[in-house]
Amino acid sequence: MAENPLLELQRYGQSFWYDNISRSILRSGELKRMIEEEGLRGVTSNPTIFYKAIKSGTGYDQQLKELFSRDDNLTAKEIFYALASQDITEACDLLMDVYKKTEGDDGYVSLEVDPHLAHDTEGTIREAKELFHRINRPNLMIKVPATLEGLPAVEELIYEGVNVNVTLLFSVDRYREVMDAYLRGLERRMNEDRPLDSVASVASFFVSRVDTLTDRYLEEMLADADDEKASKIRSLFGKTAVANAQIAYDVFKQTFSTDRFLRLKLKGARIQRLLFGSTSTKNPTYSDILYVQELIGPGTVNTMPDDTWRAFKDHGRAERTIDRDVQSAYSTIEELQTLGISLDEITERLEDEGVRLFAESFDALIGLIESKRQGA
At residue 166, what is the residue type? V
Per-residue confidence (pLDDT) for residue 72, from 0 to 100: 85
Are 15 and 106 in contact, with CB atoms under 8 Å apart? Answer: yes
Contacts of 126 (CB under 8 A, 6+ apart): none
* pLDDT band of 228, cuts 50, 70, 90: confident
Per-residue confidence (pLDDT) for residue 2, from 0 to 100: 64
Are 311 and 238 in contact, with CB atoms under 8 Å apart? Answer: no
In CATH terms, the fold of domain 5-371 is TIM Barrel (3.20.20)
In this prediction, residues 322-338 reach a mean pLDDT of 97
| Chain segment 137-173, per-residue pLDDT in tens | 999 999 999 999 999 999 999 999 999 999 999 999 9
Task: Evaluate if residue 185 carries a pLDDT over 70.
Answer: yes
In this prediction, residues 271-298 reach a mean pLDDT of 98
Choosing from 77, 101, 129, 143, the catalytic residue is 143
Task: Evaluate if residue 10 carries a pLDDT over 70.
Answer: yes
What are the backbone angles phi and psi of residue 210, rounded to the nearest 5°?
-65, -40
Radius of gyration from C-alpha coordinates of the chain: 21
* pLDDT band of 376, cuts 50, 70, 90: low
Highest mean pLDDT among 17-21, 54-58, 226-230: 17-21
In this prediction, residues 81-102 reach a mean pLDDT of 98
DSSP letters for 109-155: EEEEPPGGGTT-HHHHHHHHHHHHHHH--TTEEEEEE-STTHHHHHH
Strand ranges inside the chain, DSSP E: 14-19, 40-44, 108-112, 140-145, 164-169, 201-206, 273-277, 300-304
| Chain segment 47-75, per-residue pLDDT in tens | 999 999 999 978 999 999 999 999 888 99
- In the annotation, is 143 catalytic? yes
Burial label for 62, CB within 10 Å (0-12, 13-18, 19+), is: exposed
pLDDT above 70 as % of the chain: 99
Per-residue confidence (pLDDT) for residue 57, from 0 to 100: 79
Pick the closest to residue 288 from 269, 305, 274 (CA basis): 305
Are 21 and 46 in contact, with CB atoms under 8 Å apart? Answer: no
Helix (H) or strand (E) holding 218: helix 208-222
Per the prediction, the chain carries an average pLDDT of 97
Pick the closest to residue 39 from 19, 17, 12 (CA basis): 17
Are 65 and 117 in contact, with CB atoms under 8 Å apart? Answer: no
